[in-house]
Structure formats: structure tokens, C-alpha cells
Amino acid sequence: MSVSTDPRRYYPPPPNARVEPVNPWVIRLPMLAITGLLLVFFILVTALAGYQFMYQDKIYPGVSTVYGLDLTGMTRDEARLALQERFSYTDEAIFVFQHGGQRWEYTAAELGVNFDVDATVERAYAAGRSRGELGNLWDQWDIWRNGHPVSPVITYNETEAERIVRNIAASYVDQPVLDATLTIRDGRAIATPSQVGREIDVQLVLDQLRRQILSLSMRSEINLVVAEQTPTIWDAEEAARLANIALDPRGVSFFVPAEQGGGAGPWTATPESIENMLRIERVDNGDGTARYEVSITTDQTREFLNRIAPELEVRPVNARFIFNDDTRELEVIQPSQPGRILDIEATIPQFEQTVFSTDNRSVPLEFQTVQADIHDEMTAEELGIRENVISATTYFVGSSASRRTNVQVAAARFHGLVIPPNSVFSFNEWLGDVSLDSGYEEALIIYGDQTITGVGGGVCQVSTTVFQAAFYGGYPILERVPHGYRVAYYEQGEGAGMDATVYSPIVDFKFENDTDYHLLIETYTNTSRSTLTFKFYSTDIGRQVEKDGPYFRNTQPAPPPIYRETPGVTRATQVDYAVSGAEVYVFRTIKDASGNILVDREEFFSNYVPWPAQYQVPPGDPRANR
């Protein structure tokens, strides 16, 4: 048999054991305790029910605002009225924006702050009612015991505050950054000062304001956060000063220095033209700043100087010689003279400097000296002038005194002239001005279809002579124009087809010195014998020239005489003679020293029109052609 040792088991007393009687209070006391607890519970439930009933539409005890307004027992309408009377933050709270000694004050209401009374009352009423039954009871106990301050519900319309801050910025603070400027108006340079840029950082200011509103501060001072931007160009006064110097009403004058002979000029660049040349450039200083640099453009100046350069040019004059046939040396008959040309590139820097000078407003023109190609010290051997290589003589028997003078004056222009090797001789280039001032006289000239009196009659005697010398010297003839009709002067000796007319600057005679030696021209006029001789001195290269002709074709008789009424004439005077017309051909063959043909039958063609005898008759003469 097993015996249980479990103390919870009941073992009856032994049969002979004595049983004590039970005390009745042992049974009563528990009953009393239970009854008391039930009574207390009933009282508590009754009290809680009464508490809930008492505050069923009212704010629980202990609920107040952060401003110390006790809302206990108030209905929502009562609390709303009390809060409206007590809470004046939006109208009394002041916010002061300040910058640079300026202040702008606004109330919280003006900045968009609003007290939401209804939301605040609802928040107070909801205290102790926001959880379940037990949770609410616990919250109500905690509120009653410790209190429960309710923060007012504040709304903040930041859009209104931003509008105010931006208005302050636009009206009082913000300004654009401005560089100093330089403008030219009415011929004067005007500098405007720079301006530091300022701009309120609106977002940072609104952030500060929001923090102050959330702290319900009654008075707050808010420093406006302003970002500054410095100008790149601080000052333009110096640039304006230089520009105004350049625009001096005196302008800038160019002149030829006395050592260059003076005379020409002066030429003045006006302030208006200088204004067009001014260049104002923005230049970086390398440190984030910049400046205006005033200078002058030179294109117009260079164009102007190029325009006046030809009239200021003095061409060098080559020495002129005669060849001494006995000593076989050159003798100077006219010394060489240096020339000059305008040095534009050297003058321009002087102009640029003078433009910005307050004292000197004149620029001396710079010149370069140009030495003569053929100077006095050159020798015959050095130039390759060793002998007379060809001579040509024409005749002007029967010429008037004035025509003889013109032949002599024109021929002298070529006496002693040296033509460089492989260069072109131009008759008009060396003939120069043909006028009464240069020594010529009036004589008969061919003008259109008639012979009239004009300056320089007889010059073609000279061009014809030099043509014949070049012809027989074997030099290439580059330009030669025959006369319109046959002239007796030019047919003496060589016959028809060997003349050359000139009419500067339209009609010229040109030939080329195609040798490697200089060519010296000497001219001799013998008025008593009515001869003109051209002598060419150089180095004989052995050329041989053969002339063939003249050959006449299509000969035409002279037309009837012409009688022209001429004021001042008292009797009929013959001024030209009748000649027949014809096509005339002359040929030239050139051989070298060995007899080899260099040029075979080079053709020189002249088309002479028939020419009538011409008379000048008094006005009213019955013979006059009408």
C-alpha cells in the first residue's frame, strides 16, 4: 500500500481524535470584507458616473492654456468666449525687420498669423476623451492630478509674410549691381558711378520669422539677411578723362616738318572724326575686376595718310651724265637728289600719342628717305656705258620759231637720262608738263580733223627721233602710234612710216632696254641746221638691224582744200599742206653678232588718211567752208 505525501490531500483524523468547534467569525469576516469591497466599488462607480455626467459637455478639471487660463468646467462656447477675450497674440505680437538703420514693424496678424479659437477649444475639450473607457479614465485622473496645458492652435499664412518681405526688398533694400559706365554724348565723355548690388535672402528671413512665430514671442527683431554683389568695374573716371583729352576741340593736326621742306598742310583730324576712332574696351584685371581702356583705332588714320601720301612723295632724281668720247668716262651734268615717301607706320604711333596729350596737338609727319638709283659717283664701267651704240637724226626744216623752241625744250628733257637694264622707257614719263609755264610756246598741232594753234607743237619731232633710234638699236618697241596723216617733217631722211606721235597722257611711245647694261640718252638740237639727234650710249651687244620699206598700199588723193573762218585773220593763211593717204608698211629684221636672225620682218604699220590743204581766212571770206 502506498501513502501519498501530497500536502494538498485531506486525511481524516484518526477515529479517536478530538474535534475542536469552529469560531463563527472565521466565516463572518470574509463575508464582511467582500461586502465592503462591493460597497466601495459601488461608491466609486457611482462617483465616476457622476463625474462623467457632470463634465459630459464640459472641459475636464486641470485643462488650461499656456497663458494660464483655466478652462475647467467650461463648455466649448464658454471656452471660446474666454479664449477670444484673453488671447490677443496676433494683434499684440510685434515683429521688427531691420537693415542698415531702417526698421519695418508688423503685427503677427499682418504677417499672416491667425489664432484658431475653434481648433484650440476642440483640443482642450478632447483632453481625456481621446482614448477608450479605461484610457480616458486614466487620462482624466492624470489631468486632474498634474494639469494639462493646451497650446493655442496658430495658423500661419507664409504667403502673406513673403509678400511683405519682398515688398521691403523691392522698395527699400534690393538694388541691382551696376558697373561704372562710360558714354560719349555731344562730344564729351561722361562717367557714371558703379553701384553695389544688394538682394534680401527672402527664404532665410522667412525661416527666422517662422521660428519666432512658433515660439510665440511677443516682440522679435529680425535682421534682414542681405547678400551683396560687388561691381566688376568700380570706376570709369580715368577712362572718361582720357576720352575727353582725345575729344579736345582743337583736334589733332598733321604737318610737314621744316627739315622736310614744310609747305604742305596742315591737315586736321576734327573731334568728330576722332570720336569715330575712339575705342573703349572692357579689360579684365585678372582679379575678378575689370576696367575700361581707351585707345584709338588707326584704320581711318592710315586711310587718310595713304590718301595724302602721293602728294607728299618726292621722287628721287637720278644723276644725269654725258659720255666723254675722249676719256670714255661719265661727266655729271645734273647731280642726283634723294627723294622721300611718307612713313605711315612711323607716323601713326605719333598720332596715337598726341591724341591723348593735353599740350601738344600737332603730329609731325614722318618720312623715309629714298636714295636715287643712279647717283653721282657711279662710273661708266659700273653702269656698262662704254660706247655710242646708235644715233638717229630727224629734220625740222621749215618749222616756225615757236616749233623750233618746242623741239629744243622737249629734247632737253631727255638729255643725260639713264635707262636701267631690262626696264621700259616711257616718253610721257620723262616729257613732263607741256605748258606755257614749262617753257613751251604755241605752234600748230593736229587736233581732230584740223590743224590748229596749240601749246607744244613740235613735241612729236622728239618722239619720232627717239623712235628711230630705238628702231635701229634693235630695242623692242612696246607702244608706237603713227600720226593720222603724213607729215613732211618726219619723212625727211627715213621716209614715210617712221614717225611716232604722243599725246600725254593718252598716247605714249615706249620701248624696252632689253640688255643687261644701262642706256644713256644724249640729245642735241641744232636750230641753225634744223636737226635733232638722239645718241644712245651703252655696251654694244652686236645686234644688226635691217630696215625694209616703206611700202605703200591703197594710196588715196588729197581732198579739196579747206578754208576756215578764223577771227583775227586778215588774209588767207595756209596752215597745212595737202598729202595723199596710204597704208604704209615698214619691216625690221634683227640679227645677232653672228648673223643669226633674232626678229624676222617685224611689221610697223601706219594708216595715213588723205589730208587736205587747210587755210585760215577772215570772217566772211567767200571761200570759207560752211
Residues with Cβ < 8 Å from 530, sequence gap 6 or more? 395, 396, 397, 398, 399, 404
The CA-CA-CA angle for residues 286, 291, 294, to 5°, reads: 125
8 pLDDT exceeds 70? Answer: no
Cα-Cα-Cα-Cα dihedral of 129, 133, 135, 137, to 10°?
A: 80
pLDDT at site 438: 67
Mutual angle of helices 117-126 and 76-86, in 10-degree steps: 130
Residue 265's Cβ-count burial label (10 Å; 0-12, 13-18, 19+) is middle
Q: Can you tell me the distance from the alpha carbon of 621 to that of 617, in angstroms, rounded to the nearest whole number?
A: 6
> What SS3 string covers 324-344?
ECCCCEEEEEECCECEEEECH
598: enclosing H helix or E strand: strand 597-608
Q: What percent of the chain has pLDDT over 90?
A: 48
Mean pLDDT of the chain: 86
- pLDDT band, residue 2 (cuts 50/70/90): very low
Q: Specify the CATH number of the domain 251-288+298-370.
A: 3.10.20
Contact 469, 391 (CB under 8 A): yes
DSSP state of 170: I
In three-state secondary structure terms, 519 is strand
Q: Residue 349: which of 332, 326, 366, 334 has the closest Cα? A: 366
- pLDDT band, residue 379 (cuts 50/70/90): very high
In three-state secondary structure terms, 298 is coil
- Chain segment 235-245, per-residue pLDDT in tens: 989 989 999 99
Contact 390, 469 (CB under 8 A): yes
Contact 537, 557 (CB under 8 A): no
- pLDDT band, residue 433 (cuts 50/70/90): confident
Q: Can you tell me the distance from the alpha carbon of 468 to that of 256, in angstroms, rounded to the nearest whole number?
A: 45
pLDDT at site 447: 52
Region 154-181: mean pLDDT is 89
Region 422-428: mean pLDDT is 96
Q: Can you tell me the distance from the alpha carbon of 124 to that of 182, in angstroms, rounded to the nearest whole number?
A: 69
DSSP state of 407: H
pLDDT at site 469: 96
- pLDDT band, residue 1 (cuts 50/70/90): very low
- Name which of 149-158, 385-394, 581-590 the model is least confident about: 149-158
- Chain segment 515-543, per-residue pLDDT in tens: 999 999 999 999 889 999 999 999 999 99
319 pLDDT exceeds 70? Answer: yes
11 pLDDT exceeds 80? Answer: no
pLDDT at site 3: 43
pLDDT at site 617: 87
pLDDT at site 119: 85
Contact 425, 514 (CB under 8 A): no
- Name which of 51-55, 92-96, 315-319 the model is least confident about: 51-55
60 pLDDT exceeds 90? Answer: no
Q: Report the amino acid identity of residue 131.
A: R
pLDDT at site 4: 44
- Chain segment 358-376, per-residue pLDDT in tens: 888 999 999 999 999 999 9
Q: Where are the domains of the chain?
A: 26-52, 251-288+298-370, 380-617
pLDDT at site 81: 85
Region 499-506: mean pLDDT is 89
Q: Can you give the pTM of this predicted structure?
A: 0.60
- Chain segment 467-482, per-residue pLDDT in tens: 999 999 999 999 999 9
Q: Can you tell me the distance from the alpha carbon of 399 to that of 486, in angstroms, rounded to the nearest whole number?
A: 16
Q: Can you tell me the distance from the alpha carbon of 46 to that of 33, in angstroms, rounded to the nearest whole number?
A: 20
- pLDDT band, residue 452 (cuts 50/70/90): low
pLDDT at site 12: 58
pLDDT at site 349: 94
Question: Within 13 Å, how many C-alpha atoms sit on residue 8's CB side?
Answer: 0
Contact 497, 550 (CB under 8 A): yes
Placement of cell 603730329 in the chain: 363
212 pLDDT exceeds 60? Answer: yes
